[in-house]
Structure 1
Amino acid sequence: MRTALVLLFLLAIAAIPGSIFPQRAVDSQRVTEYYAAHPQLAPWLERLGGFEVYASPWFASIYLLLFTSLIGCVVPRLLDHIRALRIAVPDAPKRLERLPLSATKDLAGTPAEAAATAAQVLRKHRFRTKVREHEDGSWTVSAEKGYLKETGNLFFHFALLAVLVGVGFGHWYGWHGNRILVAGADQGFCNSLAQYDDSTLGPRVDAADLPNFCLTLDKFVAGYQDTGQPKAFSATVGVTQNDGPVETREFTVNDPLRLHHANVHLIGHGYAVTLRFTDRYGETQTKTVPFLPVDGMFTSEGVAQFPDVNIDPKTDKRDATLQMGFEGRYLPTVGTGATSTFPAENAPAIFLTAYRGDLGLDVGTPGSVYSLDQGQIATGDLKNVSGARPHELKIGETWTLDDGTKLEFVGTRPYATLAIRYDPTQSTILIGAVLGLIGLMLSLGGHRRRVWFRALPASADSGSGTLLAAGGLPRTDYPGFADEFTALVTAAEEGNP
């Protein structure tokens, strides 16, 4: 047990780097940013598994050693517990007065009757009882209670093993992914790796193993209090499973959408901005891009990039220096400052800064879709063409840039942030957690103790038939044992079980 506690402590320490450093399975973009910010430290962390702590060999070794230690601890104790339940309670010691609790009573009747009464009292109080007759004419009653403490202890440890097994197999055979789903039939999502914003598959899961379903966000309803605090969220989606008919389903934050081998959780929402850009040749492109909230009033930031614009119709060639990017902030309710005053769209407006030049999308380096490449701006390959202040647009308004191109703020759509997960051992972990809680309650509530009675023939001048001696021994700390022992002796004396 000491080894298991040390390993459990080591496991807790080993998990600390997973909270300090960005984890590739959670947010690969943050890992890329960490490489850029710490170019010398990041490669060493990569070699040590600092960006994949929970999948690293050293973390798995501690995990497996803890698992092995628990088995080595629990199995012998289980065998000892079964053996203790099968053997009889040991006979009374010769000197009961040396026990922590003892008492002596003079009773009428024979020693056999006194022993039978004491045994009846103990059995009524759920003690395991053994009555023995001795050659000197005395009778002893041995009783023990509190085996549920060890039973609960074993329950807890086996439940912990079940949770460890569940977590391990859940990691191997489970998967999860996150997706921002914008409202509208043209923004549907089907369950494939290419359509996730980020995803992680278990080592034993392939992309072909993912269940077949598609989702479209039909409606999103958000309710707020007067202070702007969220009150209720609900999403209505159209669901297609295994190429079947479309079903309309509704789910909320605490009530996930349950599909075959997948649960869809609603973990957030926001606004997607629809912008229409008209280039210098009169060609238009329309994009709907999510803007990410930065505060509780849904002040949102984002970027819209138009790399395939200003294509000369005569040569059908794109000039990379004429790509357009718009970065800015969307306010659902415009106030006097640069932040929204309420999360609902009471007075929506968007503030944008326009950039023209090379967006840096063709170099093959992964980047964020929610911000422009700051390196391109720093080198001058992407230039600000809107002036020192962001340009404000309300829904339906058009902004004409210096080269005659135009940008129209068409409107917004709600979007829902979905976490789609599958854990095949979720039930195992739940059962293990419940059994562990039950075992912990039994372990904390149980008290192991033993009680003995010895009935002897009284001496001739005592005037009574039987001398009843009693002794009690608490096997664990139990403050209430003295009162219980007194009650048992009194009941045996009075012959009233």
Structure 2
Amino acid sequence: MFHIALLGVLITVGIGGGFGYTGQRVVVEGQTFSNNLGSYDSFNPGRFFRDTNLVPYNIKIDKFTAKYETKIADALGTPIDYQADVTEQVQGKTAKSTKLRVNDPLEIGGTQVYLLGNGYAVDVTVRDGQGNIAFKDSVPFLPQDSNLTSLGVIKVPDALPTQLGMIGFFYPSATSLGTGALTSNYPDTINPKLTLDVYSGNLGLNDGVPRSVYNLDLDGLKPIASTPKAGSAQPLEAPLVLKPGQTATLPDGLGSVQFNGVKRFVSLDVHHDPSQVYVLVFAILIVLGLLTGLFVPRRRVWVKAVQGDDGLRLEYAGLARGEDPTLERAVDDLAKKHLSTLGSPVSSDRRKVSS
């Protein structure tokens, strides 16, 4: 049973890997994730995966709550608990509210949705030089340290008269260092600030080359509000520093940037493995087979009938795999039970042969 079940695990894992898939998606508070290929930030399908394997469902992140340590000085700011209030809905069924926690996945549409990470998304409105809204969205910024100092990129390809690109740092609890630079000393939003290095020029988004949304290629871009860098063109102004609700005007009539506020985002990991139940069954059989092999003695017993001058003689013998101190008693018990069924008396002639 042990060896057959082990083979079963290998087969089912292989089949499950072929038909399963995993995917990741970053979702900001108030936004909805739909289970289709276009909604994933990254997707890893199995060999036999087909688009039709995706069960249509939606998950809306209503609110994300993080609790941090506030009493123990040595652990100040350490995360205690994460929780996302979500609304789930499978196509054709009624929507319902539930909670998503770390190590407590959401079971929906044959998948398990795990809460992996979280961070801040800055809500920004960018107006171009003509006063039109060229960009308005909540942009996830990636955490850089335990106090959630976060780095992000904002690209505004529709701005006129020229495209705009920004590299920003968000500080949930901003404080100034001795050098004048900012840092965050606590992961919650006690004193949120956003700094932006702004560049103008062609962002290269129409070149047909895939580009990361978390990276800004500065080749060919003109700094208009940034920290001066040796060997490069000097910016027109210093980096923008904004608090929620503030607006900064860009030089040369290139528009303005408004920091509307901040939201939380969560990182979701979607996992589908159709072989989980079968793997569990075979794993249980493996354990049972192993326990049986460990605790049930494995013996071979022979019964030999020899015709002698004094009649029929029965000889009993046993062989154990490894040491078995109860082997002799087991052979004696077998002989007694066997002879009693034959109605024959038990002989006292008992011999033990070892090798």
> So what's the TM-score if we normalise by structure 2?
0.78
User: Does the residue aligned with 1:335 lie in a helix, a strand or coil?
Assistant: strand
Query: Using a 3 Å threshold, how does the CA distance of structure 1 residues 490 and 341 change in structure 2: closer, same or farther?
Result: farther
Q: 1:323 is matched with which residue: 155, 163, 179?
A: 163
CA distance in 1, matches of 2:121, 2:215: 15
1:222 match: 66
Paired letter, 2:289: G
For structure 1, list consecutive stretches of 5 or more residues without a partner in the other structure.
1-154, 312-321, 455-468
1:382 match: 221
Query: Using a 3 Å threshold, how does the CA distance of structure 1 residues 453 and 335 change in structure 2: closer, same or farther?
Result: farther
Query: Matches of residues 180-195 of structure 1 in structure 2 within 5 Å?
Result: 180-184=26-30, 187-195=31-39
Paired letter, 2:68: Y
CA distance in 2, matches of 1:450, 1:486: 12
2:40 match: 196
CA distance in 2, matches of 1:399, 1:452: 95
Q: 2:103 is matched with which residue: 254, 259, 266?
A: 254
User: Does the residue aligned with 1:385 lie in a helix, a strand or coil?
Assistant: strand
Paired letter, 2:16: G
Q: Is the 8 A contact 1:213 1:243 kept in 2?
A: no
Q: Does 1:448 align with 2:287?
A: no
CA distance in 2, matches of 1:289, 1:403: 25
CA distance in 2, matches of 1:431, 1:485: 34
Query: Using a 3 Å threshold, how does the CA distance of structure 1 residues 335 and 205 change in structure 2: closer, same or farther?
Result: same
Q: Does 1:335 align with 2:175?
A: yes
Deviation at 1:204, TM superposition (A): 2.8
Query: Using a 3 Å threshold, how does the CA distance of structure 1 residues 169 and 340 change in structure 2: closer, same or farther?
Result: same
Larger radius of gyration: 1
Query: Using a 3 Å threshold, how does the CA distance of structure 1 residues 160 and 384 change in structure 2: closer, same or farther?
Result: farther
Q: Does 1:176 align with 2:15?
A: no
User: Does the residue aligned with 1:403 lie in a helix, a strand or coil?
Assistant: helix
Higher RCO (CA 8 Å, separation ≥ 6 residues):
1
User: Does the residue aligned with 2:139 lie in a helix, a strand or coil?
Assistant: strand
2:348 match: none
Q: 1:426 is matched with which residue: 269, 276, 279?
A: 276
Query: Using a 3 Å threshold, how does the CA distance of structure 1 residues 392 and 208 change in structure 2: closer, same or farther?
Result: same
Q: Does 1:207 align with 2:88?
A: no
Deviation at 1:400, TM superposition (A): 2.1
CA distance in 1, matches of 2:44, 2:120: 26
Task: Please list the CA deviations of residues 395-436 of structure 1 after superposition, one character each: whole Å capped at 9, or x if unmatched.
Answer: 122222222321111111111111112211111112222222
Query: Using a 3 Å threshold, how does the CA distance of structure 1 residues 335 and 156 change in structure 2: closer, same or farther?
Result: farther
2:157 match: 307
Q: 1:402 is matched with which residue: 247, 251, 269?
A: 251
Q: Is the 8 A contact 2:196 2:226 kept in 1?
A: no
> More helix by proportion, 1 or 2?
1
1:87 match: none
Q: Is the 8 A contact 1:352 1:391 kept in 2?
A: yes
CA distance in 2, matches of 1:241, 1:453: 66
CA distance in 1, matches of 2:145, 2:19: 36
Q: Is the 8 A contact 2:318 2:331 kept in 1?
A: no
Deviation at 1:309, TM superposition (A): 0.9
User: Aligned residues: percent identity?
Assistant: 37
Query: Using a 3 Å threshold, how does the CA distance of structure 1 residues 341 and 443 change in structure 2: closer, same or farther?
Result: farther
User: Does the residue aligned with 1:424 lie in a helix, a strand or coil?
Assistant: coil
> More strand by proportion, 1 or 2?
2
Paired letter, 1:276: T
> So what's the TM-score if we normalise by structure 1?
0.57
CA distance in 2, matches of 1:441, 1:229: 43
User: Does the residue aligned with 1:211 lie in a helix, a strand or coil?
Assistant: coil
Query: Using a 3 Å threshold, how does the CA distance of structure 1 residues 488 and 212 change in structure 2: closer, same or farther?
Result: closer
Q: Is the 8 A contact 2:318 2:328 kept in 1?
A: no
Paired letter, 2:168: G
Q: Is the 8 A contact 1:272 1:288 kept in 2?
A: yes
Q: Is the 8 A contact 1:452 1:471 kept in 2?
A: yes
Paired letter, 2:225: S
Q: 2:85 is matched with which residue: 224, 227, 236?
A: 236
Q: Is the 8 A contact 1:291 1:330 kept in 2?
A: yes
Query: Using a 3 Å threshold, how does the CA distance of structure 1 residues 392 and 446 change in structure 2: closer, same or farther?
Result: farther
Deviation at 1:488, TM superposition (A): 6.2
Deviation at 1:304, TM superposition (A): 0.9
Q: 2:117 is matched with which residue: 257, 268, 271?
A: 268
Deviation at 1:439, TM superposition (A): 2.4
Paired letter, 2:224: V
Q: Is the 8 A contact 1:328 1:390 kept in 2?
A: no
1:416 match: 266
